[in-house]
């Protein structure tokens, strides 16, 4: 299929007001898309678990970028596993099915690195996606999101529906979720170390052993990758979206301590879960297929995120 001319299309971005979605909308506008052609349904008035809402949201839409999701860190995954499974599976199944029924020209499904098996060889290659069960603490979420791939491939096979599936790694950046009950590791640690610095705490406790590794992608880079795939990628196979950078949780905590100028003790609570042992994606397919390669270094992006959080806290005081 030819390159998608986005400026000629009406585009629905589910979750378009969220952390990643707002960046995707901004990236679409930077590519010349008129704001009048970009539709962003809000969860308060458009619950995508309801068929009627999906049908109404898809009126006159040519492209769907499905970013809406219910997400959280390890603790949130443990305490809300049923909701994470049901809500993500239901939203994905309904919006993709109704997109096909509405004759949408392209559906861009956004999966998650949590869909990979627990002990996937490093770096994670797309062909390893089905070689085992996901890490237990996030399996319900990961599997629910993985069904977007199965459904998209099935609809492509039977109906010729152009559905693609992208696998972004853990995202971070200004505007992230810093709620300690549901945040991911980067904002959770930034909040901990920043508050420890301000209140002169002599210790910060970090979940797990510190040995687990993660890969992080700056949110603006992720938005660029998603828009490039929307323009250029039209195949059934899933594609990783990442930075191809790996750091241990211990190293991450030490780096955040340095950037926040926290000089106290860092203690690792090994009674808490580490989650998946290692995460690092093979990102070569994204570069080959739609010329995407992340450009923001981790320390640079982390510094911007810490500065944003500090300004936010200062503006409230």
pLDDT in tens, 176-216: 999 888 888 999 999 999 999 999 999 999 999 999 999 99
Average pLDDT, the chain: 94
Asked whether residue 187 is domain-assigned, the answer is: no
pTM for the whole thing? 0.94
Q: For residue 130, what are the domain limits?
A: 6-174+215-246+277-296
Distances (CA, A) of 76 to 69, 181, 185, 208, 305: 14, 6, 12, 15, 22
Distance CA 276, CA 229 (A): 27
pLDDT at 77 over 80: no
For the annotated catalytic residues, the residue numbers are: 141
Whether 257 maps to a domain, the answer reads no
At 81, is the pLDDT very low, low, confident or very high (cuts 50, 70, 90)? very high
**Could you give the C-alpha distances from 136 to 119, 121, 142, 147, in angstroms and in order?**
11, 17, 10, 17
Cβ neighbors of 23 (< 8 A, separation 6 or more) are 173, 219, 220, 222, 223
How many domains does the chain divide into?
1
Q: Per-residue pLDDT tens for 19-59? A: 999 999 999 999 999 999 999 998 878 999 999 999 999 99
CATH of the domain at 30: 3.40.50.720
pLDDT tens-digit readout, 88-116: 999 999 999 999 999 999 999 999 999 99
Whether 239 is covered by a domain: the verdict is yes
Res. 160: pLDDT tops 70:
yes
Instruction: Check residue 253 and give its pLDDT.
Output: 96
Judge whether 117 and 131 are in contact, CB under 8 Å: yes
Q: Is residue 252 part of a domain?
A: no
- The two beta strands, 247-248 and 213-214, are antiparallel
Query: Does 186 fall in a domain?
Result: no
Q: 99 in a domain, yes or no?
A: yes
Asked if residue 265 is part of any domain, the answer here is no
Give the single-character DSSP code of 128.
Answer: G
- Helix (H) or strand (E) segment spanning residue 38: strand 38-39
Residue 183 forms part of a structural domain: no
pLDDT band at 80 (very low <50, low <70, confident <90, very high): confident
CA–CA distance, 74 with 206 (Å, rounded to integer): 13
- Token look-up 């006159």 returns 60
For residue 123, is the peptide bond before it cis, meaning its omega torsion is within 30 degrees of 0? Answer: yes
């Amino acid at each position: 299929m030819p390159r998608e001319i986005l400026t000629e299309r009406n585009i629905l971005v589910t979750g378009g007001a969220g952390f990643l979605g707002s960046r995707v909308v901004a990236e679409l506008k930077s590519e010349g898309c008129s704001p009048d052609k970009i539709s962003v349904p809000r969860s308060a008035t458009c619950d995508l678990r309801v068929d009627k809402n999906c049908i109404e949201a898809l009126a006159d839409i040519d492209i769907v970028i499905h970013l809406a999701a219910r997400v959280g860190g390890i603790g949130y995954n443990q305490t809300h596993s049923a909701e994470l499974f049901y809500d993500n599976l239901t939203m994905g199944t309904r919006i993709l099915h109704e997109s096909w029924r509405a004759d949408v020209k392209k559906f861009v499904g956004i999966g998650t690195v949590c869909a990979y098996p627990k002990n996937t060889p490093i770096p994670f290659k797309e062909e390893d996606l089905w070689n085992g069960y996901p890490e237990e603490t996030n399996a319900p979420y990961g599997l629910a999101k993985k069904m977007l791939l199965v459904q998209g491939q099935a609809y492509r096979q039977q109906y010729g529906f152009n559905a693609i599936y992208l696998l972004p790694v853990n995202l971070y950046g200004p505007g992230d979720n810093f709620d300690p009950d549901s945040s991911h590791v980067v904002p959770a640690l930034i909040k901990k170390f920043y508050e420890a610095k301000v209140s002169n705490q002599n210790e910060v406790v970090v979940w797990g052993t510190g040995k687990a590794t993660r890969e992080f992608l700056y949110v603006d880079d992720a938005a660029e990758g998603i828009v490039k795939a929307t323009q250029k990628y039209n195949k059934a196979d899933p594609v990783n979206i990442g930075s191809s950078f790996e750091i241990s949780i211990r190293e991450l905590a030490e780096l955040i301590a340095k950037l926040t100028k926290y000089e106290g003790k860092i203690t690792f609570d090994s009674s808490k879960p580490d989650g998946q042992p290692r995460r690092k994606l093979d990102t070569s397919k994204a570069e080959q297929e739609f010329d995407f390669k992340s450009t923001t270094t981790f320390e640079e992006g982390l510094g911007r995120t810490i500065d944003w959080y500090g300004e936010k806290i200062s503006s409230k005081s």
